[in-house]
Amino acid sequence: MLEPNQSPAMWTMAGQGVVNGYAIGKAAVMGAAALEAPHYYIEPEAINAECARLHQAMDQARDDLVSIARQLPADTPLEIIPVLEVHRLLLDDPMLRQQSCVYITERLYNAEWALTTQGQNLAAQFEQIEDPYLRERSADIRQVIERVLLILSGQAPVHHSLAIHAESHDPGLIVVARDISPADMLRLRKIRFAAFLTDLGGPTSHTAIVARSMNIPAVVGLGEFRRLVRDGDQLIVDGFKGVVIVNPSELVLQQYRKLQAAHLSQREQLAQLRDTPAVTLDGIAVQLEANIELPHEAQAAFDAGADGVGLFRSEFLFMGRPDLPSEQEQYEAYASVVKIMQGRAVTIRTLDLGADKALDGEQTVATNPALGLRAIRYCLAHPDLFQTQLRALLRASQLGRVRILIPMISTMEEVKAVRVALEQAQHSLRSEGYTGVFNYELGAMVEVPAIAIAIEPFAQNLDFLSIGTNDLIQYVMAVDRTDAEVMDLYDPMHPAVLRLIAHTINRAESYGKPVSVCGEMAGDARLTRMLLGLGLRCFSMPASQIMLVKQQVLQAHTGDLRHKVATALNRAERIDLLKLN
């Protein structure tokens, strides 16, 4: 669409920025085979040959993935490896392979038509799942199908224009795609990219995850952008605003070059704060910890100067794979993080799975998954799975300071049940010859309003608390944070939300128990002063945000902030962030 008062040659499109930063370069447009797949009826006598043609293409696609996996470069992001295995397994899955042949046999569809039809059926099932990470796994099915379609059409897996750009070694290459499979990402990593842009995807899509690991700007969810942009068009990517400018004027280019230079300069300046203690103007020390999803991210957290890991989302070890990680595999993952952090606390959240996050072929469907058998409820209902994780956590705790964080606690009975499970895990380990001290603390996520309102017994009986603002806001405001139609009601600044945060912090403080915030609010530097005013002294966020938040901490006076914030809350007023500066 055109912006007012701009020439027709320049236009913009907005999506969702998933990696901050600016990029300027030329578009390299990847094709999407599924959009051009031929659809026609075959003769009955051609059924066997058509099924064989489909199976042969699927076999070749599977063999290609196996070959890619065997030749992975040393710097391959670890999250891609299990995804390649999932793609390989999908190619042998009867629900895809055999059911596609059913369409060939019963409806006389050609191979491409049969495959895309069944793929759409499977993808639709995933898209009904509430959890955003699993909902976006429909992309895995789509990417596998597009790979097979490319083979059926005789095309190469990566668009020809990318090969041309690769030979030119153009560092300003901006990849534009409908979506990018992990296998193609591996091939494309050999090319120096300035940014990624995709029509599909969200914050937890594979493209977003890999873009973060490569620390380059990315915008996803651009709709029909791939169809509208031309190969070689000059692009400006604004990862902060989630905006792409196509064929910008010289004036706009100059403006963004200045922004890009200023951003790089700011990053260099902020990096100098790495070893500066996070202490406010009135001498209050503040802990700045990191959120991680996968073990290797601990190194980036340590390098960023994190005071510890405030949230290790352990469920990511279980996702994107057909089986469950063993106790030994989990132990090695947790232990690696503990070792990297060199004595700093590592907070590991137990599995936040269930209902809408089915494992190992489970097909449980809850009426309202966000309120169903999930998180600690799921773990207590699956004691063998929970015991495996607890044993791994306890073993890792012998290497350093481990904090075990329980999600979605709502009753003291659940806390007691967790302690019993921990005692059982310790007893079984002792009986197997494990000696030494299990060096762990037990805490709970404050994300259910019930625990925030009646926080006292939890503060008394637990070692620490961590406020998960993402779900807390969702439950307080009765808003599905994944539903675009009501996202405007998802309000972290609502007085009710802030009062619950303040109440939790104040009551825990009276019992001498530490409290952290590990939701998106903690990493938003615009909210740092307000959270300090609420009494927060421990923030946990993506490692990339630590220096920005530290900068705000160093310039803050908590005494003044507490007075201003308390006055606004007592009057049930919305807090004016500008007045806190």
Query: In three state form, how does the secondary structure of 239-254 look?
Result: CCCCEEEECCCHHHHH
Identify the domain boundary among 116, 131, 153: 153
Residue 262 domain flag: no
User: Cα–Cα distances in Å, from 518 out to 313, 338, 349, 461, 529?
Assistant: 11, 19, 11, 21, 16
Q: What is d(CA 510, CA 570) in angstroms, rounded to the nearest whole number?
A: 20
Q: What is the CATH number of the domain that holds 107?
A: 1.10.274.10
Residues 199 and 228 in one domain: yes
How many CB atoms sit inside 10 A of residue 164's CB? 13
| Residue 476, token pair as written in the block | 């307080």
Degrees, nearest 5: CA angle 436-437-440:
150
Residue 364 domain flag: no
Q: What is d(CA 221, CA 242) in angstroms, rounded to the nearest whole number?
A: 9
List beta partners, residue 173: 26, 193
Beta pairing, strands 22-29 & 173-177: parallel
Residues 18 and 76 in one domain: no
* Total number of residues shown for the chain: 581
Known binding residues for Mg(2+) are 447, 471
Question: Would you give the DSSP letter of residue 315?
Answer: G
Residues 379 and 344 in one domain: yes
Instruction: Check: CB of residue 46 under 8 Å from CB of residue 158.
Output: no
Instruction: Check: CB of residue 237 under 8 Å from CB of residue 176.
Output: no
pTM of the model: 0.69
pLDDT at 29 (0 to 100): 78
Instruction: Check: CB of residue 406 under 8 Å from CB of residue 390.
Output: no
Clarify whether 159 is annotated catalytic. no
pLDDT at 403 (0 to 100): 98
Active-site annotation holder among 518, 538, 557, 563: 518
Residue 118 domain flag: yes
Active-site annotation holder among 51, 206, 379, 538: 206
Q: What is the CATH number of the domain that holds 526?
A: 3.20.20.60
List beta partners, residue 403: 347, 441
Identify the domain boundary among 131, 153, 175: 153
Instruction: Check: CB of residue 85 under 8 Å from CB of residue 176.
Output: no
Nearest to 224 by CA among 166, 295, 176: 176
Domain total for the chain?
Answer: 3
Question: Would you give the DSSP letter of residue 285?
Answer: B
Residues 219 and 303 in one domain: no
Nearest to 195 by CA among 181, 182, 180, 176: 176
pLDDT at 120 (0 to 100): 76
Known binding residues for phosphoenolpyruvate are 313, 349, 470-471, 481
Q: What is d(CA 520, CA 522) in angstroms, rounded to the nearest whole number?
A: 5
Domain range enclosing 529? 276-356+369-571
pLDDT at 305 (0 to 100): 94
Residues 203 and 343 in one domain: no
* Half-sphere exposure at residue 543, Cβ-oriented, CA atoms within 13 angstroms: 23
Residues 338 and 243 in one domain: no
| Residue 284, token pair as written in the block | 């209050």
Nearest to 196 by CA among 181, 184, 207: 207
Residue 116 domain flag: yes
* Half-sphere exposure at residue 507, Cβ-oriented, CA atoms within 13 angstroms: 20
| Residue 88, token pair as written in the block | 């390989």
Residues 285 and 425 in one domain: yes
Identify the domain boundary among 153, 178, 210: 153
Question: Would you give the DSSP letter of residue 158?
Answer: S
pLDDT at 432 (0 to 100): 96
- What is the helix (H) or strand (E) element at residue 177, kind and residue range? strand 173-177
Residue 208 domain flag: yes
pLDDT at 529 (0 to 100): 96
Q: What is d(CA 144, CA 135) in angstroms, rounded to the nearest whole number?
A: 16
Residue 67 domain flag: yes
Q: What is the CATH number of the domain that holds 165?
A: 3.50.30.10
Q: Which residues contact 25 (CB under 8 A, 6 or more apart)?
A: 170, 171, 172, 173, 174, 194, 195, 234, 235
Instruction: Check: CB of residue 415 under 8 Å from CB of residue 456.
Output: no
**pLDDT values of the chain reduced to their tens digit, one per residue, 581 residues:** 444 444 447 888 988 887 888 999 888 877 654 445 677 888 989 999 999 999 999 998 888 888 777 766 665 555 566 667 778 888 888 888 888 999 899 888 889 888 888 887 777 776 666 666 566 566 677 778 878 888 887 755 544 444 444 444 455 788 888 877 655 665 565 566 788 898 887 665 556 656 665 678 889 889 888 888 887 788 999 999 999 999 999 999 999 999 999 998 988 888 899 999 999 999 999 999 999 888 888 998 999 999 999 999 898 788 656 678 999 999 999 999 999 999 999 999 999 875 444 454 454 455 676 788 889 999 999 999 999 999 999 999 999 999 999 999 999 999 999 999 999 999 999 999 999 899 999 999 999 999 999 999 999 999 999 999 988 998 999 987 655 567 678 888 999 999 999 999 999 999 999 999 998 789 888 899 999 999 999 999 888 889 989 999 999 999 999 999 999 888 878 888 888 87
Clarify whether 51 is annotated catalytic. no
Residues 285 and 376 in one domain: yes
For tokens 């055999």, name the residue: 98
Amino acid at 513: K
Residue 260 domain flag: no
Residues 125 and 189 in one domain: no
Nearest to 497 by CA among 524, 469, 519, 517: 469
Q: What is d(CA 290, CA 340) in angstroms, rounded to the nearest whole number?
A: 13
Instruction: Check: CB of residue 527 under 8 Å from CB of residue 492.
Output: yes
Residues 149 and 166 in one domain: no
Residue 581 domain flag: no
Nearest to 237 by CA among 196, 203, 268, 204: 196
Residues 331 and 385 in one domain: yes
Q: In what order do the strands lie in the sheet with 22-29?
A: 11-14, 243-246, 234-238, 22-29, 173-177, 193-198, 218-220, 16-19
Residues 110 and 148 in one domain: yes
